[in-house]
Amino acid sequence: MAKYKKKRVRELRHDRFRDAAMTVFDRLGDRLEGKGKPVLYGLAAAVVIGIAIWIGVWRHHKHSEEARQALGLAIRIATAQVSATPAANATGPSFISEQDRAQKAIVEFQKVAAKYGDPYRTEARYFVATSLLYVDRNKGINELAELSKSSVSDVAILAKFALAQAKDADAKYDEAAQLYNELAKDNSALVTSDIANLRLALVYQKQGKKKEASDILFRIADSARKAKGQDGTPLPQSAAARDAAQELQKLDPERYAQLTPESPGGGPAF
């Protein structure tokens, strides 16, 4: 799908960027592009063993920092501008097509996977798989299926989510629905149950399952409107919950009218 990665990033923003401020590009952008504070080491002891330990820690940190920088560079390429006529004053990399950008990104991510250990290797493999969807879709889908079973939990969740979206885009709705159901049960911080269920409802709509889709959308939106904090005040609604309400209004106006009215304090969560 030509706009696959943009849709994936936008979907993750629903709760990871706004609610947890901890999604793939926020976490990798801050941690992998070298924006974090450098580790400050204490003075090495005057004994040989103390010096040896300090050097070992320093080397490990330096290696990790190199991995972060390399992965950050690859991410910048993977998210670079695509334009047939790049702006003359553009400062970052730009590409004439999604395929051109994906090819270059794959090369950079493969370098990271070949040189560094986990979690960088597995994270790089994930980005290789999503980039492959533009140039060798079947291979990309197979890679995502394998990574969805990874021991690196964040990558496993993101790979399953990307795989579900790819199945959805390919009109393999039963497979997509199964994956979204699994993600909803996992209810991870990266892909919350609301995000997964919202996507599931959209799949049901495409399958003509209006009632099933309406039930899910109503449950997401109504639960969010009823949610309260420990002090009894309404909790901010996630973007997924607000999107669910909007979809329900379009799909089933009568059911939408049955939603609990929004509380004044139940605004969007950022």
pTM exceeding 0.85: no
- Per-residue tokens: 96: 């004439």
Cα distances from 12 to residues 16, 40, 221, 231, in angstroms, run 6, 33, 18, 29
Rounded to whole angstroms, the Cα distance separating 11 from 33 reads 22
pLDDT, greater one: 129 or 62:
129
Do residues 239 and 13 touch, judged by C-beta distance below 8 A?
Answer: yes
Q: Is the pLDDT of residue 186 over 50?
A: yes
With bands split at pLDDT 50, 70 and 90, how would you rate the model's confidence at 83? confident
What pLDDT shows up at residue 85?
A: 76
Cα distances from 46 to residues 51, 56, 74, 225, in angstroms, run 7, 15, 41, 62
* Range in 75-79, 91-95, 131-135, 147-151 the model is least confident about: 91-95
What pLDDT shows up at residue 60?
A: 53
Cis amide leading into 268 (omega within 30): no
What pLDDT shows up at residue 48?
A: 41
Do residues 216 and 200 touch, judged by C-beta distance below 8 A?
Answer: yes
What pLDDT shows up at residue 195?
A: 95
Burial of 207 (0-12, 13-18, 19+ CB in 10 A): middle
Q: Is the pLDDT of residue 90 over 70?
A: no
Mean pLDDT on 42-68: 53
What pLDDT shows up at residue 220?
A: 97
What pLDDT shows up at residue 115?
A: 92
Q: Is the pLDDT of residue 227 over 50?
A: yes
Q: Give the residue among 229, 221, 228, 223 at the shortest CA–CA distance from 252.
A: 221
Q: Give the residue among 136, 138, 114 at the shortest CA–CA distance from 125.
A: 114
Dihedral through CA 119, CA 122, CA 124, CA 125, nearest 10? Answer: 180
DSSP letter string, 172-197? -HHHHHHHHHHHHHH--SSS-HHHHH
- Eight-state DSSP code of residue 83: -
pLDDT, greater one: 114 or 85:
114
With bands split at pLDDT 50, 70 and 90, how would you rate the model's confidence at 35? very low
With bands split at pLDDT 50, 70 and 90, how would you rate the model's confidence at 200? very high
pLDDT, tens digit, 9 for 90 and up, residues 3-24: 334 443 444 344 333 333 334 4
What pLDDT shows up at residue 71?
A: 86
What percent of the chain shows pLDDT beyond 90? 56
* Residues whose CB falls within 8 Å of the CB of residue 105, separated by 6 or more in sequence, listed in order: 74, 77, 78, 127, 131
Q: What mean pLDDT is reported for the chain?
A: 79
Do residues 74 and 127 touch, judged by C-beta distance below 8 A?
Answer: yes
What pLDDT shows up at residue 93?
A: 78
What pLDDT shows up at residue 120?
A: 87
